[in-house]
Structure 1
Amino acid sequence: MKFFFGIEHEVAFLNKEGKFADFTHTKFADFEQIIERLPTYPNDYPQLRVGDAGIKKKRWYIEGFERFANSEKPIDCLPKGIEIRTTIHSNIEDTITELSASFRLLCEIAADFGFSPVLTSFNPYKTLFEPQLPLNDYEIRRRQASPEKQTAHIPMLTYGPDLNISVSDLSIERLIDIGRKLTYYSPYIVPFSYSSPFYNGGLWDGLSVRTFVRTGKRPAALIFVEKQEQLIKSIPSLTKIARIPTEVGRIEFKACDSCDDFSIYAALLALLKGLILDETLLGRSTTPDAALHQLSAKEGFDNEVILTNTTKVLEASEVALGDDPDVNLLTPLKVLLATRKTKSHELIEGFQRVGSIEEALRQTYYLKHEA
């Protein structure tokens, strides 16, 4: 069984005035000047998808809400941040090395335009995204195309990774079973990543606004299939048609918050790999349990049900990995579980110490950067 890995990581920014750079006062052109200065790697294609609007031409692209004329022609994109995506790698370490290098390059060029990266997984000030110009007929029709397009306003407020794994020689039935398994155990996986304790300009009563608002309406995991007849009908989707050949058979775990410590991503990829290999955990679900995700988002490891099941999931993954060297990548998760602390706890403490969301956010990537 051969594994392949990739990560898509969304980056939020403060602008040169020190304000959170979201769609309310950031234009597409503000981020586009950064993207223009970043390199293109011709060998990345065809494994990276360029997409309808041609925005996704590089390893970095502007993440946002695309607007269309009354046709397929895109006319604008309201930005929320910049996404970094890695190429496909046969091991976790190379995936993280590439992500780190791409992140460093992004930071250097963004700094020239007054933007500094900050870690959050939910917009700390906005509770709602509504396009200022109402959707036209074409856009309304386009949004009916899938359950995800119908909830496309939610990702404009959230930041999170796609943790991608492909496995050679698995049947579609087996892939879908893995998707259902990861969906079932998602509430116990995601607390390792929690980093969204701010809401509407203040502290939220919990650890992950992103999980609370998103998971249930949006997928926890997606499986990319080749043919229409392999799709399973569900809301939100568990399956999706692959848009390029390299997507066929991809398992995409979408429920985590963003991490500024990329060793956590390495650990999460190792955890998912172990869960794919594991045959002892029998829970399955086609759609995420919204209530359980909300409990997890509010209480994290302080909740005994979450703590017990997360421990079980981590142990099962570790046993399944056996003597695979990737088992060593799980260490940061063991530390988080032992301390029952998440990144959100750090952000909350930072906010209570400095009294400002922006200053608390500056303590994320910024300090690692300076170091």
Structure 2
Amino acid sequence: MPSDHIARHDSTRTLAGRVAVVGAALASIVLGAASCGSRTGLFVGEPDMSDSSTQIQPDAPIDAAPDVVPCVPGEFGFDLATAQLMFVLDRSGSMAFSLTSPTLPDPGEPSRWEALHDGLAEAIRPLDQQLAMGAKFYPEALSEDDLASTALACLTDNGVGIAPARGNAESILDVFFTTEPRGGTPTAEAIRLAAQYLADRRTVARTIVVATDGAPNCNGDLDGARCVCTAAGGDCRRSEYSCLDDTRTIDVIHQIAEVQKIPVFVIGLGSTERPEFLRVLDDMAVAGGRARPTVPRHYNVQSPVELRSALQTISDSIARCTYLTPSTPNDPNAIDVEINGVSIPRDTNHKNGWDWVDQAYGSLAFFGDACDRAQAATSKVNGRVSCEKD
């Protein structure tokens, strides 16, 4: 058992009413995938990899890689970007808890796992054919027996469970019925692998959305006698895997946003009485380059309504506020961006204005009121580019 934290979170894993009924109906599909002996997380909608005729090459691009955009002086109209969105979704044991307290939900109250499903369903179904969506759930789907092993309870396999594609909404949502929340919270590794997958398959606009209910852990290199402990009682001397894995997680996200140019949104699910955990989620959001403009910097949700609102806001910003310019300046500031003829300032703090997502590929995004204005049906987005002389 990796920690008291994990053991406490896995005292019972029976999902309520609706989830149990649908899960039973799909049980044969999950068992069929598991019988192949693979631990790669085959979910509903994935091909049967036992059939060589349906195998997908791991390095096959999803979309053709765009060329680096040259600098050409002049005035240009901007096109709405085709987006690829990867959800990185917490499936640790505490996701079976209530949104309002670290205990199992009362009868009729949704668990965090169920609330995440319902919020996603409302947010992503309308965008099913607009966004290429995929998902990596973490840790991997576990049985009760797996929890006796630290390695399995913190397992995060290479690759992703559901590769990004249009029409994937139901495949993502089905996972909530075919698996249950168990195990630790290997957030850093899950995000790293999701970003690696996207980086190897470059599309025009790539985004990661992390939804987690707690503090990252599962880092066996930390000192259990010195670390901040995520386990109940705050004692990690017997289980370093319950140490708060804050530094590594924040560094991984910063690397993804700054070097790989993949913005990361962070959603925090449920209440916590430990302010150090909330600070980690805020720092993760800031490192990802898509923090909220006010405190809390991450999307902190305490109810299904707040979750649906947060997901809708994020989905809109990805699907409707990211644009492409056919000419990108050598100087990142040598471009005047307009919406309906009104100049929009560049805002590197992402509160109200525009900023580059990936300058080399001509990708930029709007934030705050500028995002709202860009979404209007009659909006015309354009810009004037200046180029440095030789």
What TM-score comes out, normalization by structure 1 length? 0.30
Indicate the structure (1 or 2) with the bigger Cα radius of gyration. 2
